[in-house]
Amino acid sequence: MADALVIGAGVIGLTSAICLAESGMEVRIRTAAPPQETTSRAASAMEEPAPRWAGWFPHGDHVVLGGCADEDDWRLEPDPVLAEEIVRRCAAIEPRLAEARVIEHRVGLRPARPDVRLEEVTLGPSRCVHNYGHGGTGVALAWGCARDVCSIVARA
């Protein structure tokens, strides 16, 4: 396979003007009877200006609650009001979550872009393959994009 540099620097390494972050906050909770199933749907019954999504993801001894993804939002500090809102939205769908004990707030940036950038460019004498901008689906898309990167690199 030919040598090539693959750039997948996520949101930290991006300087392109068409890349935007979407701040995402997670609330980690513990509860006596955690739901074993994952769900994600709009909790449109809540008093919000617009329907917002709510989802939870069982992770062994705790459950991760999520519910925000706003475009061009670079905040990295947990927002306690939003955290309460996320718990409220999730509990509106799954009442067992209402009694949960919050153990941690976490914030991360989704490296968003109108389209994933997956292409080869030449940097001086070097081959370079860009692979970034997967937004909120980078884990799901990782296998397919990695396979595409390998195909590009394998081309002579």
Ligand X SMILES: Cc1cc2nc3c(=O)[nH]c(=O)nc-3n(C[C@H](O)[C@H](O)[C@H](O)COP(=O)(O)OP(=O)(O)OC[C@H]3O[C@@H](n4cnc5c(N)ncnc54)[C@H](O)[C@@H]3O)c2cc1C
Q: By CB under 6 A, name the binding residues for ligand X.
A: 8-13, 24, 26, 108-111, 132, 134-140
Among positive and negative, which fits the CA dihedral 108, 111, 113, 116?
Answer: negative
Nearer to ligand X, 88 or 105 (CB): 105
For residue 112, list its beta bridge partners.
20
What is the closest distance, in whole angstroms, from the C-beta atom of residue 131 to ligand X in the complex?
7
Nearer to ligand X, 37 or 47 (CB): 37
In the structure, how many helices (H) and strands (E) does the chain have?
2, 8
Among positive and negative, which fits the CA dihedral 132, 53, 35, 76?
Answer: positive
What is the closest distance, in whole angstroms, from the C-beta atom of residue 56 to ligand X in the complex?
11
- Residue 27 one-letter amino acid: V
Q: In this structure, are strands 5-7 and 126-132 parallel, antiparallel, or unpaired?
A: parallel
What is the closest distance, in whole angstroms, from the C-beta atom of residue 22 to ligand X in the complex?
8
Nearer to ligand X, 109 or 129 (CB): 109
Q: Give residue number: closest CB to ligand X.
A: 138
Nearer to ligand X, 5 or 9 (CB): 9
What is the closest distance, in whole angstroms, from the C-beta atom of residue 151 to ligand X in the complex?
18
For 81, residues 6+ apart whose C-beta sits below 8 A from its C-beta are: none
